[in-house]
């Protein structure tokens, strides 16, 4: 009997040793990576401390290790490091537009905030930057300003995209060309001088959508400046154009080199 007990105890010890060895061989589960703002665009909804000159809002876009900032005047961009929940920004490159009134001071405000290495906190769609002179609460742009649907939205042209340049003008603002695509694909609008009708078949793509236009217009004649705008609008709608929507902005790019930037009304 004692011999059986000894053999049973030895076997039990071997089983426990094997179980312990197996458990020690198991690799720990990898830690869940910390969420960061990278890959998202945020718009300020609240500022405490020093206010944004001109009222803002502040827009921050994080992509490919870089940050782009705009608070109502120029656009600033540079490399960004988010290590230790501190926003470390390299030397910022900026556009050089002259902005009227209080908005001119927004560039200095942005520079002081970003170069001051603010700490950042991310809670789902809400990003908070805590700087030396201001605390800024921002919301993911997709939540604050959802993309407008291509169909059913009245779109007004703001810029002509030509093979040579992007064109904004008083004539475009005055004649307000635009278009609307109905849910059934019907196309209506205004090309600048003449009324626009036809079809627009929208096909969703990973990048946005392809829109196949079949458009016809009335036959009125207007001033040369207006007819030049109309020709550019119709060139953008000649055949199939690639479409992308960013909040309230629709961009159409035609393989022929022409395109349009439109804003939702």
Contacts of 90 (CB under 8 A, 6+ apart): 78, 79, 80
pLDDT reported for residue 32: 57
Q: Which residues of the chain have pLDDT under 50?
A: 1, 3, 5-23
Number of alpha carbons in the 13 Å side-chain half-sphere of residue 11? 6
* Strand residue runs (E) in 124-232: 126-130, 134-140, 154-161, 166-167, 178-181, 186-190, 195-205, 208-217
pLDDT reported for residue 37: 97
Q: What is the pTM of this model?
A: 0.66
Q: 191-211: per-residue pLDDT in tens?
A: 999 999 999 999 999 999 999
* Strand residue runs (E) in 226-265: 239-246, 249-253, 259-264
CATH of domain 154-264: 2.40.128.270
The reply to whether domains 41-144 and 154-264 share a CATH topology is: yes
Is residue 59 reached through a cis peptide bond, with omega within 30 degrees of 0 on the bond before it?
no
Of 43, 46, 120, the C-alpha closest to 88 is 120
pLDDT reported for residue 100: 86
- Tell me which architecture the domain covering 41-144 has in CATH: Beta Barrel (2.40)
List the chain domain ranges. 41-144, 154-264
Q: 101-158: per-residue pLDDT in tens?
A: 999 999 999 999 999 999 999 999 999 999 999 999 999 999 999 999 999 999 999 9
């Amino acid at each position: 009997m004692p011999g059986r007990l000894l053999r049973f105890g030895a076997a039990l010890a071997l089983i426990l040793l094997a179980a312990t060895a197996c458990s020690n061989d198991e690799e720990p589960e990898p830690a869940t990576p910390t969420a960061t703002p990278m890959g998202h665009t945020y718009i300020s909804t609240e500022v405490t401390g020093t206010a944004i000159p001109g009222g803002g809002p502040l827009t921050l876009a994080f992509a490919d290790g870089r940050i782009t900032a705009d608070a109502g005047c120029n656009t600033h961009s540079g490399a960004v490091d988010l290590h230790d929940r501190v926003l470390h920004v390299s030397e910022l490159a900026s556009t050089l537009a002259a902005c009227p009134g209080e908005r001119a001071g927004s560039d200095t405000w942005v520079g002081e905030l970003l170069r001051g290495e603010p700490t950042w906190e991310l809670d789902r769609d809400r990003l908070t930057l805590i700087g030396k002179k201001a605390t800024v609460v921002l919301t993911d742009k997709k939540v604050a300003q959802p993309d407008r649907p291509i169909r059913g939205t009245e779109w007004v042209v703001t810029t002509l995209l030509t093979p040579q340049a992007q064109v904004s003008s008083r004539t475009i603002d005055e004649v307000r060309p635009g278009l609307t695509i109905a849910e059934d694909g019907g196309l209506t609008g205004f090309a600048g001088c003449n009324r626009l009708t036809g079809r627009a078949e929208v096909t969703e793509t990973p990048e946005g959508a392809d829109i196949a236009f079949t458009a016809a217009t009335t036959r009125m004649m207007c001033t040369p400046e207006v007819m030049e705008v109309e020709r550019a609008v119709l060139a953008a709608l000649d055949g199939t154009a690639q479409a992308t929507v960013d909040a309230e902005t629709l961009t159409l790019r035609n393989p022929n080199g022409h395109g349009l930037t439109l804003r939702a009304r």
